[in-house]
């Protein structure tokens, strides 16, 4: 009989969380840390020393021998450099030591991280600074300390620093609105985030045989198997034992790390699965999602599996996304996107709703850029994910409320008469009576907005920075108007009416997959940036630069550096894929097809010796001819791709366009012939596992 797992007992046991701090710190030190969290002030060195000592002793008891400042550079993944606790004390002896100075600040080499031109390669110094709002944890015999990462001259080199700046901004501007509605109790507004994570699991033995999976994370070749996902028999189906054991192990590891892993199930594609956490504050949600992806990969290896986080590892079946559920909540427990029970509460809800709608409409290109990534180009708009067009789904009833305000009629019976906001005639607003719309990029789901465009491998920091900053901007504009209004209710009525009227084009409740929506969106003037190369230039539009600099999320230099990094990242991914494709084609696929064709030709010769002219009609001859035609055609295409790779422009934006317009189509053409060769070639000749082998192992 297996041991019963006591989840409440193990939850967070590997985290130096608030409960542990309360137990291990003196009342004075604990109070100083709490003061630091609430005010943003720096910790005195003696307080930092006391926390470091307690943290070290706790970590040693957990088996830790090292510590690392864990940070999130602009690679999209995390980074860590491990130092041991040992300090020499003479006579060949050491002690385990850890100071407040080492806790608060580290100095990793920053020269090899992407900087987008912020610094030269020889400018190696970078610094990590402890984020006291995020709890340290022990993993793999090291104490992990969540930190921010910045350059010698102070520029942010990470994803976490701008996220924290955006959280401060949206809280500050939200409080201005709440004060206007008489809320003098709330001291902070927090961004609540839940990031659903999709992923694939395949056997490591199969993965090791595929060069494309090992080098690029996706299959560059692969003919469609006889069965795909058309029977819908995998979605929410019985979880196979091997995968169930992995999920059980994964949950336990995540729970020990204080990560609120809640839901697990099979997804739509064969070998695809999903994990969903309970919502938490945005900063910790971002840390938790990065950690979840790391733990997934290590846990899969333990079970002789490989976790694939690429957005489209297999052609012909659904790719993987990451739904970012975003909301605003007060520190008193109120969700600002939840309709209330009184007219005044509903008026407040409509103000926040209007600000969100206005912001998404005005900055749709910026939000699109936050999910622009080479892997995501294979997924967006592919009838398995939202289109590249940004729109908002509100549902029929909430849309009816918005329309009644625009049309000046009463929501309950649509009779004539202006619908007043903030006074007693405002009817109750439905709280969650709408269906879900999986084709919508931004969907209202009762008390939150679900941003569904993220790729499964991406950090959630970028999209949340954009959402926070956009919301802060619109709330600031609203607060400026309402704070100076002579008649608050009249100004409120006009503000909400004007906003809904001007920005109703962004609201769409229909099928985002349809061709009709593409045409309708164009008529509405909504942008449709279909690829990363086409989207990214809008990132540094003056409007977007002004937004992020005015709210002190980035300096202009920091923001433009991220644009350069995104462009370079796109180009690097496509270049690696193209080089891998050429290598596999020349050294695996073409030789295999040629060998089979040659053996068929030898068979024809032998038959001709026996059957004479009757051999001219044999299947081997016809198949050999088809193989030869396809092999010759593919070889020429591979040579063309190889030549095209030598003509990539040096300038990053031109290079991105070239990769998108020339290299990507050339790769698709090579794949078409390679997949045909796979169908024609005897399986015993084929050099690597097929889709049938991988997806139905």
Q: How confident is the model at residue 425 (pLDDT cuts 50, 70, 90)?
A: very low
> Which two three-digit tokens encode residue 692?
């049938």
Give CA–CA dist 534/527, Å, rounded.
11
Please report, rounded to a whole number, the percentage of residues in the chain having pLDDT higher than 90. 72
Domain-located, residue 561: no
| pLDDT tens per residue, range 278-332 | 999 999 999 999 999 999 999 999 999 999 999 999 999 999 999 999 999 999 9
Mean of pLDDT over the chain = 90
Q: What are the E-state strand segments in 57-214?
A: 66-70, 82-84, 86-90, 93-96, 105-106, 126-130, 137-139, 142-151, 189-195, 197-203
Picking from 190, 171, 198, 445, the residue whose alpha carbon sits closest to that of residue 325 is 445
In a domain, 379, yes or no: no
Tell me if 256 sits within 8 A of 12, measured CB to CB: yes
Do 396 and 478 contact (CB within 8 A), yes or no? no
Give the model's pLDDT for residue 413.
44
Provide the pLDDT for residue 458: 95
C-alpha–C-alpha distance, residues 176 and 692, integer Å = 58
Q: Say if residue 342's pLDDT is above 80.
A: no
Would residue 56 count as lying in a domain?
Answer: yes
The confidence score (pLDDT) of residue 167 equals 96
For residues 663-676, average pLDDT: 98
- Helix then strand then coil, in percent of the chain rounded to 5, is 50, 15, 35
State the pLDDT at residue 424: 42
| pLDDT 10s digits, 163-205 | 999 999 999 999 999 999 999 999 999 999 999 999 999 999 9
Contact 143, 301 (CB under 8 A): no
Is the Cβ–Cβ distance between 559 and 156 less than 8 Å? no
Residue 298, in any domain of the structure? no
Other C-beta atoms closer than 10 Å to the C-beta of 649 total: 13
Q: Is the pLDDT of residue 429 over 60?
A: no
Evaluate whether residue 389 is within a structural domain: no
Q: What angle do CA 647, 653, 654 make, to 5 degrees?
A: 30
Q: How many domains in the chain?
A: 2
Residue 159, judged by CB atoms within 10 A of its CB (0-12, 13-18, 19+), counts as buried
pLDDT value for 200: 98
d(CA 298, CA 307) in angstroms, rounded, equals 9
Residues facing residue 96 across a β-bridge: 86
State the Cα–Cα distance between residues 581 and 212, nearest whole angstrom: 7
Q: Is the dihedral of CA 88, 89, 90, 92 positive or negative?
A: negative
The pLDDT assigned to 415 comes to 40
| Three-state SS at 559 | helix
- CA distances in angstroms from 635 to 192, 275, 584, 623, listed in the order given: 53, 42, 12, 18
Domain boundary among 127, 157, 187: 157
Extract the tokens encoding 637. 């295409």
Domain that holds residue 14: 7-157
Q: Which residues pair with 152 in a beta bridge?
A: none
Q: 359 lies in a domain?
A: no
Residue that terminates a domain, selected from 133, 157, 181: 157
pLDDT by residue (tens digit) across 509-558?
Answer: 999 998 899 999 999 999 999 999 999 999 999 999 999 999 999 999 99
Residue pLDDT, tens place only, 248-271: 999 999 999 999 999 999 999 999
Strand, helix or coil at 23? helix
Cα separation, 132 vs 44, whole angstroms = 13
**Whole-Å CA distances, 414 to 245, 410, 501, 525, 610:** 56, 5, 18, 29, 88
Rg value, the chain, Cα: 29
pLDDT higher than 90, residue 109: no
Residue 106's pLDDT is 80
End-to-end CA distance of the chain: 29
Residue 271: phi, psi to the nearest 5?
70, 10
Instruction: Please tell me the predicted confidence (pLDDT) of residue 666.
Output: 98
Last residue of a domain, one of 107, 129, 157: 157
Closest CA to 68 of 78, 76, 58: 78
CA dihedral 361, 364, 365, 368 (to 10 degrees): -170
Residue 411 is encoded by which pair of tokens?
């929501």
> In the structure encoding, which two tokens stand for residue 404, read together?
């009644």
Q: Which of 103, 105, 203 is nearest to 143 (CA)?
A: 103
Q: What is the pLDDT of residue 246?
A: 97
Distance CA 622, CA 63 (A): 67
| Separation of alpha carbons 318 and 274, rounded Å | 13
Q: Looking at the predicted structure, is the pLDDT value of residue 66 above 70?
A: yes
Please classify residue 23 by burial: count the beta carbons closer than 10 Å to its beta carbon, then call 0-12 exposed, 13-18 middle and 19+ buried. Answer: exposed
Would the pLDDT of 144 be above 50? yes
Strands in 378-460 per DSSP E: 392-393, 442-444, 449-451
The answer, yes or no, to whether residue 412 has pLDDT greater than 70, is no
Instruction: Tell me if 146 is assigned to some domain.
Output: yes
Q: Determine the pLDDT at residue 378.
A: 94
DSSP 449-493: EEE---BTTS-SHHHHHHHHHHHHHHHHHHHHHHHT-SSHHHHHH
Identify the pLDDT of residue 257: 97
Scanning the structure block, which residue is given the tokens 């100076």? 484
Residues 6+ away with beta carbon under 8 Å from 253: 295, 299
The phi and psi torsions of 601 (rounded to 5 degrees) equal -60, -40
Q: Is the pLDDT of residue 223 over 80?
A: yes
Contact, 78 vs 71, CB < 8 A? yes
Tell me the CATH number at 674: 1.20.120.1560
The mean-pLDDT minimum among 137-151, 353-367, 398-412, 557-571 falls in 398-412
The CATH number for 84's domain is 3.10.20.70
Residue 4, C-beta contacts closer than 8 angstroms, at least 6 positions apart: none
pLDDT tens for each residue of 32-56 = 998 888 777 778 889 989 999 999 9
677 in any annotated domain:
yes
Q: What is the pLDDT of residue 439?
A: 86
Structure tokens at 578: 């193209």
pLDDT at 622: 87
Cα distance between residue 210 and residue 414, in whole Å = 62
């Amino acid at each position: 009989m297996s041991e019963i797992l006591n989840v409440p007992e193990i939850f967070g046991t590997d985290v130096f969380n608030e409960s542990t701090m309360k137990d291990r710190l003196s009342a004075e030190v604990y109070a100083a840390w709490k003061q630091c969290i609430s005010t943003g002030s720096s910790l005195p060195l003696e307080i930092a020393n006391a926390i470091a000592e307690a943290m070290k002793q706790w970590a040693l008891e957990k088996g830790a021998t090292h510590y690392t400042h864990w940070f999130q550079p602009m690679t999209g993944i995390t980074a860590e450099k491990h130092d041991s606790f040992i300090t020499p004390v003479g006579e060949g002896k050491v002690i385990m030591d850890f100071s407040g100075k080492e806790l608060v600040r580290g100095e990793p080499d920053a020269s090899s991280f992407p900087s987008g031109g912020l610094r030269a390669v020889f400018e190696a110094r970078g610094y990590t600074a402890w984020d006291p709002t995020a709890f340290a944890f022990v993993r793999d015999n090291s104490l992990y300390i969540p930190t921010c990462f910045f350059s010698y001259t102070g520029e942010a080199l990470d994803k976490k620093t701008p996220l924290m700046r955006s959280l401060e901004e949206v809280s500050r501007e939200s409080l201005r609105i709440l004060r206007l509605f008489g809320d003098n109790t709330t001291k902070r507004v927090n961004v609540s985030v839940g990031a659903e994570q999709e992923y694939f699991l395949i056997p490591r033995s199969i993965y090791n045989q595929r060069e494309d999976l090992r080098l690029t994370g996706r299959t560059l070749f692969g003919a469609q198997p006889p069965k795909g996902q058309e029977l819908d028999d995998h979605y929410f189906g019985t979880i196979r034992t091997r995968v169930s054991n992995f999920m059980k192990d994964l949950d336990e590891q995540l729970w020990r790390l204080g990560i609120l892993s809640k839901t697990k199930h099979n997804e739509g594609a064969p070998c695809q699965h999903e994990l969903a956490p309970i919502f938490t504050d945005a900063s910790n949600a971002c840390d938790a999602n990065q950690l979840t992806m790391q733990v997934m990969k290590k846990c899969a290896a333990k079970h002789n599996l490989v976790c694939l986080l690429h957005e489209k590892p297999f052609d012909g079946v659904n790719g993987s996304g990451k739904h970012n559920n975003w909301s605003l909540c007060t520190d008193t427990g109120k969700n600002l996107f939840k309709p209330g029970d009184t007219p005044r509460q509903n008026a407040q809800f409509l103000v926040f709703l209007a600000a969100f709608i206005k912001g998404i409409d005005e900055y749709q290109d910026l939000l699109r850029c936050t999910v622009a990534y080479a892997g995501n180009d294979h997924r967006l708009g592919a009838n398995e994910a939202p289109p590249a067009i940004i729109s908002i789904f509100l549902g029929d009833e909430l849309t009816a409320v918005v329309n009644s305000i625009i049309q000046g009629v009463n929501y309950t019976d649509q009779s004539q008469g202006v619908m007043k906001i903030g006074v007693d005639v405002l009817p109750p607003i439905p709280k969650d009576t709408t269906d879900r719309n999986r084709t919508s990029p931004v969907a209202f789901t009762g008390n939150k907005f679900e941003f569904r465009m993220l790729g499964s491998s991406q950090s959630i920091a970028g999209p949340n920075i954009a959402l926070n900053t956009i919301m802060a901007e619109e709330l600031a504009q609203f607060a400026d108007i309402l704070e100076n209004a002579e008649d608050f209710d009249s100004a409120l009525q006009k503000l909400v009416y004007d906003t809904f009227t001007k920005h109703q084009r962004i609201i769409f409740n229909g099928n985002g997959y349809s061709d009709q929506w593409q045409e309708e969106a164009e008529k509405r003037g909504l942008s449709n940036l279909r690829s990363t190369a086409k989207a990214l230039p809008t990132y540094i539009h003056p409007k977007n630069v002004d937004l992020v600099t005015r709210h002190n999320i980035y300096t202009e230099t920091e923001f433009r550096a991220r644009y350069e990094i995104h462009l370079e990242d796109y180009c690097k991914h496509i270049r690696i894929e193209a080089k891998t494709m050429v290598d596999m084609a020349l050294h695996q696929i073409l030789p295999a097809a040629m060998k089979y064709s040659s053996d068929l030709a030898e068979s024809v010769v032998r038959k001709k010796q026996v059957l004479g002219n009757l051999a001219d009609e044999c299947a081997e001859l016809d198949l050999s001819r088809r193989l030869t035609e396809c092999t010759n055609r593919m070889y020429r295409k591979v040579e063309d791709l190889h030549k095209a790779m030598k003509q990539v422009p040096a300038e990053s934006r031109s290079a991105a366009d070239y990769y998108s317009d020339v290299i990507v189509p050339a790769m698709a053409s090579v794949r078409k012939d390679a997949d045909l060769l796979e169908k024609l070639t005897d399986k015993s000749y084929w050099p690597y596992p097929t889709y049938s082998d991988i997806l139905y192992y």
